[in-house]
Amino acid sequence: MKSAASLLSIALLLASSAQAAQHMQKKHARRQGASPTFAPAPTTTAAVPPPTSTALSTKTTIKRGLSFNDASLTKDFTSSQVSFAYDWDSTFQGDLPAGVTFFPMLFSAAPEHSTQWEANANAAIAKGSTHLLFINEPDLSSQGNTSPQDAANQWMQFMQPFAGKATLVSPAITNGAPPAMGTGWMDDFLAACDKLGCQVDAIAAHIYDSATNVPYYQSYITALGTRYKRPVLITEFGATGSVEQQQQFLQTMVPFLDGLDSVSHYAWFMTAAGNLVNADASLSPLGNTYVSS
């Protein structure tokens, strides 16, 4: 899963949960793992006026998705529960559940990721992929570690050729504090892109905090849609706390995300044993909460 971050404040916050500690220590098999990054968040007051969201009484669009390393662990999910899956790479081994769409990602412009990107992205689109993802956590040194200007230049090389063929999704920022991280990084990226003529169809973001701090999540995610006026994909979100606290969190957040028009897709971190699934790939109590909330 994700390796330890360099910021002491992150480590201290994650230490409050055994699952979060595991999240810090383990690495993704397909990448050098990211670290959940926290901006200072209010515990009782929201950074923006409290958002409103009305969940649909009948869900006509499944926004919920899966992040995974091992595709075999997705086998007990169905397309009536999740619509997409991704693995921080442009290919995967094995099979996804029928009807679940793979979203390929160019994790970074490093040769090990970019050399086969064009061929892999074209192959994925030919098989039905509708979205292309770009640079995982560029604002984090242990992850994509890319400046806004370099990311814009790389976008023109690797993503722009696919304009009109798929929805092109921005780099996935952390919820780290601006100006160097989070929305500060995204603002600079989009400004650089405007000068180059990038077509950025949607915004990707990650958010981690405490399971008891729901107002922060709701305010932060709502503000992304207002700020960027594009569809938002929350391609990673997680919450520290006990399993019971995480279940309560999801029972609130899943209907909220389903009802928030600016959010097109979201994926809990992650589809792994001890998290959304058990060791035999059956859905865990948390996984059942995720798909039924």
Q: How far is CA 274 from the centre of its chain?
A: 19
Task: Give residue 248's pLDDT.
Answer: 99
Cα(134)–Cα(105) distance, integer angstroms: 5
pTM of the model: 0.84
Are 210 and 241 contacting, i.e. CB atoms less than 8 angstroms apart?
yes
Banded model confidence at residue 263, pLDDT cuts 50, 70, 90:
very high
Banded model confidence at residue 6, pLDDT cuts 50, 70, 90:
very low
CATH code linked to domain 78-292: 3.20.20.80
CA angle, 291 then 200 then 10, to 5°: 55
* Contacts (Cβ under 8 Å, ≥6 apart) of 138: 108, 144, 145, 146, 147, 148, 151, 171, 172, 173, 185, 189
Q: What is the mean pLDDT of residues 239-262?
A: 99
**pLDDT tens for residues 28-64?**
433 444 345 444 454 333 333 444 454 433 346 999 9
**pLDDT tens for residues 163-194?**
999 999 999 999 999 999 999 999 999 999 99
List the domain boundaries for the chain.
Answer: 78-292
Task: Give residue 60's pLDDT.
Answer: 62
